[in-house]
């Protein structure tokens, strides 16, 4: 569990642990032990803690973690979560996890908006497929025609040929007679062909395929390289740039 909201997550779990601590009554004539918090407050805080734990450890979603005294299972999970946060940096350095990480929320918005809902529900293969669909649709919108798609769409859009009626082009930099310009156009075409051939096609043609989340995230990151090349390009129509 790592990220900028770790402190807040730890505070929420610590608050829950405090609320369910049992204290012995010191009131005259009242015997027994009682949780510090009110039942309705504990229930509400438990909802927050479960969401924090679900985000940090997706594999535990749907698991029943109650056992023994009420809330004890969730209390133990929250305690482990707090310890993990507090020692995260130490553990990452010790275990070699201190390398840079990719956050799905920080990739290009076309890609994440296409994948977000399915990713969060655990359908990572379909999330990648939908991200590709979103990228294809946004590219069609950019060039203003929908009669071609996928590899052919990118080949035509980044072609070095001049724009024609009904065939707009995407220019990563203003067209000039330079190797840099030509390389950028060819690179976008080749990268798009690789993305559709290596990512989109296998996921679409192989039934019941599964992906581990790390691989799916890397696929989204690859698509996020291509997306801004389209998004930031100049549109060249027949007769000049728009």
What are the residues whose beta carbons fall under 8 Å from the beta carbon of 69, sequence distance 6 or more? 22
Domain membership of residue 184 (yes or no) is: yes
Residue 65 lies in a domain: yes
Q: What is the pLDDT of residues 140-186, one digit of tens each?
A: 999 998 999 999 999 999 999 999 988 999 999 999 899 999 999 99
Question: For the purposes of burial, counting CB atoms within 10 Å of the CB of 88, is it exposed (0-12), middle (13-18) or buried (19 or more)?
Answer: middle
| Domain count of the fold of the chain | 2
Q: 41 and 11: one domain? A: yes
Task: Identify the band that residue 3 occupies on the pLDDT scale cut at 50, 70 and 90.
Answer: very low
All residues at 6 or more sequence positions from 150 whose CB lies less than 8 Å from its CB, including other chains? 136, 196, 200
Cα→Cα distances 102→105, 111, 213, Å? 9, 14, 12
Q: Find tokens 């399915």 and name the residue.
A: 118
For residue 27, is pLDDT > 90? no
- Compute CA 181 distance to the chain's CA centroid, rounded to the nearest angstrom: 32
In a domain, 1, yes or no: no
Tell me whether residue 201 is in a domain: yes
Q: In this predicted structure, what is the pLDDT of residue 4?
A: 43
Domain boundary among 74, 95, 116: 95
Task: For the sheet with 240-241, list strands across it.
Answer: 169-171, 234-237, 240-241
Burial of 95 (C-beta count, 10 Å sphere; 0-12/13-18/19+): exposed
The domain in which residue 41 lies consists of 6-95
Please check whether residues 46 and 87 belong to one and the same domain. Answer: yes
Which structure tokens are listed for 22? 């049992």
pLDDT digits (tens, 9 = 90+) for 33-90: 677 888 888 888 888 888 888 776 555 554 544 444 567 788 888 888 888 777 776 7
């Amino acid at each position: 569990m790592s990220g900028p909201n770790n402190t807040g997550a730890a505070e929420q779990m610590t608050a829950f642990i405090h609320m369910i601590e049992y204290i012995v009554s010191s009131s005259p004539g009242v015997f027994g032990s009682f949780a510090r918090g009110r039942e309705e407050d504990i229930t509400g805080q438990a909802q927050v803690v479960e969401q924090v734990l679900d985000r940090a450890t997706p594999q535990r979603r749907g698991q029943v973690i109650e056992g023994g005294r009420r809330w004890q299972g969730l209390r133990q999970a929250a305690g482990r979560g707090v310890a993990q946060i507090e020692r995260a940096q130490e553990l990452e350095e010790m275990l070699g996890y201190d390398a840079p990480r990719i956050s799905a929320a920080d990739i290009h918005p076309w890609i994440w908006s296409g994948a977000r809902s399915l990713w969060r529900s655990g359908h990572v293969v379909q999330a990648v497929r939908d991200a590709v669909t979103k990228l294809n649709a946004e590219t069609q919108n950019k060039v203003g025609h929908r009669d071609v798609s996928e590899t052919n769409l990118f080949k035509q859009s980044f072609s070095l040929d001049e724009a024609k009626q009904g065939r707009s082009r995407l220019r990563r930099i203003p067209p000039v007679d330079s190797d840099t310009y030509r390389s950028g156009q060819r690179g976008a075409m080749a990268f798009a062909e690789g993305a559709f051939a290596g990512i989109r096609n296998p996921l679409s043609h192989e039934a019941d395929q599964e992906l581990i989340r790390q691989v799916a995230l890397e696929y989204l990151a690859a698509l996020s390289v291509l997306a801004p090349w389209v998004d930031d390009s100049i549109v060249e129509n027949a007769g000049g740039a728009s």
